[in-house]
Amino acid sequence: MNELQNMDIKYLHGVGPKRAELLAKQLDIRSYYDLLYYFPFRYIDRSTIHRICDLDGELPYIQLRGKFVVFTPQGQGAKRRINALFSDGTGTIECVWFNRVKQIQDAYHTGVEYVIFGKPTLFKGVYSIAHPEVDVYNPQKMTAGVRGMYNLTETLRNRAFSQRTMQQLIDNLLSANVVQRLADPLPEKLMLRHRLMPLHEALVNIHQPASIDALQRAQFRLKYDELFMLQLNILKYASTRNAKFKGLVFNKVGNYFNRFYSECLPFPLTGAQKRVIKEIRKDMGSGRQMNRLLQGDVGSGKTLVALMCMLLALDNDYQAAIMAPTEILATQHFETISSMVEPLGIKCALLTGSTRKKLRETIHEQLLSGELQIIVGTHALLEDVVQFYNLGLVIIDEQHRFGVAQRARLWTKNSTPPHVLVMTATPIPRTLAMTVYGDLDVSVIDELPPGRKPVETVLRTDQSREAMYRFVGSQLAQGRQAYFVYPLIQENEKLDLHDLEQGYQTICETFPSYKVCFVHGKMKPAEKDWQMQLFVSNQAQIMVATTVIEVGVNVPNASIMVIENAERFGLSQLHQLRGRVGRGASQSFCILMSKHQLAKETKHRLMVMTETNDGFVVAEEDMKLRGPGDMEGTQQSGIAFDLHIANLAKDGQIVQLARDDAREIIDADPSLALPEHLMLNERLHDLFDRKIDWSFIS
């Protein structure tokens, strides 16, 4: 590999310094290796010959077989071009070349049978192909069926660098006998397990497939390679970190946990909650520091899981902390948790930015002395003055609201770092989680507590606005509360704020007998909290807001969520918003308002919301539509999502295989020092020498 990376592309037959410069600039191809790994973006079946009389509508690249009838040079100087009429006996089509007029005239002749290849465009009822590829018809050659098409740029095409040129270069590369010499870095064990195509064969077939079947095997092999190397790199990093960070061993299940379970639990745990608690318990007893992501849809009961894990920490004589992104959320957690553990005589406290100085000082003291066992708080927990006696477990709620750096800071509060559990209600597709949170283990609560009524979601246009208001009115009349949410996007801030204020006015006028509160992200935190509190306490029945309400607030009496300009939100975000309702006993509704005219794809996207309440399904769809790079939580990860050939959204199964295999190898040989792994290790260096700083991720 290394050898190929060091071979300058200009030395390849057919390239030379000029083309080398062009390739470097246009396609970032600088070495033999770069060209070899510049895979076709799609394939064309070259065994099929179309008939001109059958051509119809919008057409892809096709092949025709026939003869040129006449060549007609046209225009002068820079405008010179040459037209040709091509006939296959069933009809005629026009071909046109805008440069190299002389060469074309010399190279092609009437009366010879050719196969031409290109994309016909329809203009004024006549099909024409610009710059077709032309080959003398040769029945033997036609059997080579599938051919790759490469992404080229406009500049390349203008410099007479065509698909054909690219294919020729690939041909030269493959026959230069360098690929055949490539050693395969994969251990034999894995090759056999998945019946993988050998590397050099895969590289040949990805460019020049011998058959569809060979192409598929080549694709599988190369996707696997890419994902496997990615996972190997992540896990190798994680294993060095784990070796560095020994974990506290929680081996007791004691009084707190057991008494809570038998005396205080207000309802039976769901199967998923039990499973997840088991996973966490095992992890915290393993002697390694736990770094776990707990995913669970809104309302799946993560708080209870968090609480029971904290009790395990207490049973092992450690303190536990839970951190939430907002003051309101922290307060809600504190109220839930303190009321549940009170019967057990556990000491817990709330620490936020607005905790009074006197109380704050007491809390600081009691955390340091160990008197306080559970602390609930906001960012205030991260301040340097906050010191613990022996912090054993940190739980971070709604992870995406916290910077990654902040997460790291809590670790430094002990000599042995505490276990870390990150909870998120933004479901992330598994394949993405394995990559973005590569070295975090993932637990999933995939079951809601019994008796939940799924939120009914509908899509409405402005035409039914009056009806929507009437419906909301009828719910308010039954004593319910409602949210109206507006998008607020930075680029568009002024306009959006205007919309929001306008909306607020309209709603106040439409529902004069109810109190309306108003929240947006530009408000001072104190003002925002006060407005939220109005809604929480039901002094206000309607909340008009931007997405600031996305995270956390729990108002079970709120049963309606109206989302304005829903088409402007991502699916995952809509799902988060919808999670604010459906928390109480009554049937809840989510009304997505949109413009009358929606693009087909937008409509399809919004319809997903009306069809499912499952956050994981929503997240998968979201990733399919937007691609992994745009998903929430991936941007700051620093991971290159421009994978060569694999696709996190589509190749989930291969991600899983690659993950399992990488795990197995790293478990057996953490530093890849065994002889059978030496080549793997080398390949890893070659691939990742850009040094992604994985420590940044968690």
Q: How far apart are CA 116 and CA 113, in angstroms?
A: 10
3-state secondary structure of 475: helix
If the CB atoms of residues 298 and 542 are measured against ligand ADP, the closer one turns out to be 298
- Per the DSSP assignment, residues forming a β-bridge with 93 are 86
Determine if 326 is a binding residue for ligand ADP (CB under 6 A): no
If the CB atoms of residues 227 and 337 are measured against ligand ADP, the closer one turns out to be 337
Q: Which one of 217-225, 291-299, 458-466, 664-672 is the stretch in contact with ligand ADP (CB under 6 A)?
A: 291-299
Q: Which one of 108-116, 267-275, 370-378, 676-684 is the stretch in contact with ligand ADP (CB under 6 A)?
A: 267-275
Q: How far apart are CA 218 and CA 205, in angstroms?
A: 6
If the CB atoms of residues 300 and 378 are measured against ligand ADP, the closer one turns out to be 300
Determine if 292 is a binding residue for ligand ADP (CB under 6 A): no
Size of the site for ligand ADP (CB under 6 A): 14
Question: Could you tell me which of 259, 350, 348, 336 has the C-alpha nearest to residue 304?
Answer: 336
Question: Could you tell me which of 373, 331, 370 has the C-alpha nearest to residue 353?
Answer: 331
The answer to whether 326 touches 377, Cβ cutoff 8 Å, is no
Determine if 588 is a binding residue for ligand ADP (CB under 6 A): no
Q: How far apart are CA 692 and CA 611, in angstroms?
A: 39
If the CB atoms of residues 291 and 303 are measured against ligand ADP, the closer one turns out to be 303
Q: How far apart are CA 687 and CA 230, in angstroms?
A: 9
**Least Cβ distance, residue 273 to ligand ADP (angstroms):** 6
Q: Which of 120, 296, 438, 503 binds ligand ADP (CB under 6 A)?
A: 296
Q: Which of 91, 299, 584, 652 binds ligand ADP (CB under 6 A)?
A: 299
Within 393-432, the residues that bind ligand ADP by CB under 6 A are: 425
Determine if 304 is a binding residue for ligand ADP (CB under 6 A): yes
Within 432-461, the residues that bind ligand ADP by CB under 6 A are: 449
- Per the DSSP assignment, residues forming a β-bridge with 408 are none
Determine if 341 is a binding residue for ligand ADP (CB under 6 A): no
If the CB atoms of residues 231 and 303 are measured against ligand ADP, the closer one turns out to be 303
Neighbours of 485 (CB within 10 A): 30
The residue assigned the tokens 């009828």 is 474
The secondary structure element, H or E, covering residue 272 is helix 271-284
Q: Which of 147, 292, 302, 578 binds ligand ADP (CB under 6 A)?
A: 302
Q: Which of 118, 301, 438, 503 binds ligand ADP (CB under 6 A)?
A: 301
Determine if 73 is a binding residue for ligand ADP (CB under 6 A): no
DSSP 171-210: HHHHHTTSGGGPPP-S-HHHHHHTTPPPHHHHHHHHHS-S
Contacts 24+ apart (CB under 8 A), 116-119: 116/63, 116/64, 116/65, 116/66, 116/86, 117/46, 117/61, 117/62, 117/63, 117/64, 118/61, 118/62, 119/59, 119/60, 119/61, 119/62
Q: Which one of 294-302, 426-434, 523-531, 629-637 is the stretch in contact with ligand ADP (CB under 6 A)?
A: 294-302
Q: Which of 49, 130, 253, 269 binds ligand ADP (CB under 6 A)?
A: 269
Sort 501 into a burial class: Cβ within 10 Å, 0-12 / 13-18 / 19+.
Answer: middle
Closest-by-Cβ residue to ligand ADP is: 301
Measured between its terminal Cα atoms, the distance across the chain in Å is 31
- Per the DSSP assignment, residues forming a β-bridge with 135 are 115
If the CB atoms of residues 304 and 593 are measured against ligand ADP, the closer one turns out to be 304
**Least Cβ distance, residue 276 to ligand ADP (angstroms):** 11
3-state secondary structure of 486: coil
The answer to whether 219 touches 645, Cβ cutoff 8 Å, is yes
Amino acid letter for position 526: A
| Number of alpha carbons in the 13 Å side-chain half-sphere of residue 277 | 22
Question: Could you tell me which of 105, 102, 159, 91 has the C-alpha nearest to residue 134?
Answer: 105
Q: Which one of 44-52, 104-112, 150-158, 301-309 is the stretch in contact with ligand ADP (CB under 6 A)?
A: 301-309
Determine if 298 is a binding residue for ligand ADP (CB under 6 A): yes
**Least Cβ distance, residue 247 to ligand ADP (angstroms):** 25
Determine if 120 is a binding residue for ligand ADP (CB under 6 A): no
The residue assigned the tokens 């004069």 is 512
User: What does the block give as tokens for 402?
Assistant: 């916290």
If the CB atoms of residues 450 and 675 are measured against ligand ADP, the closer one turns out to be 450
Q: Which of 242, 291, 303, 424 binds ligand ADP (CB under 6 A)?
A: 303
Determine if 245 is a binding residue for ligand ADP (CB under 6 A): no
Q: Which one of 195-203, 268-276, 382-390, 660-668 is the stretch in contact with ligand ADP (CB under 6 A)?
A: 268-276
**Least Cβ distance, residue 426 to ligand ADP (angstroms):** 11
Q: Which of 128, 273, 531, 573 binds ligand ADP (CB under 6 A)?
A: 273
If the CB atoms of residues 128 and 572 are measured against ligand ADP, the closer one turns out to be 572
Q: Which of 267, 369, 477, 539 binds ligand ADP (CB under 6 A)?
A: 267
Determine if 584 is a binding residue for ligand ADP (CB under 6 A): no
Q: Which one of 262-270, 563-571, 624-632, 660-668 is the stretch in contact with ligand ADP (CB under 6 A)?
A: 262-270
- Residues in contact with ligand ADP by the rule CB under 6 A: 267, 269-270, 273, 296, 298-304, 425, 449
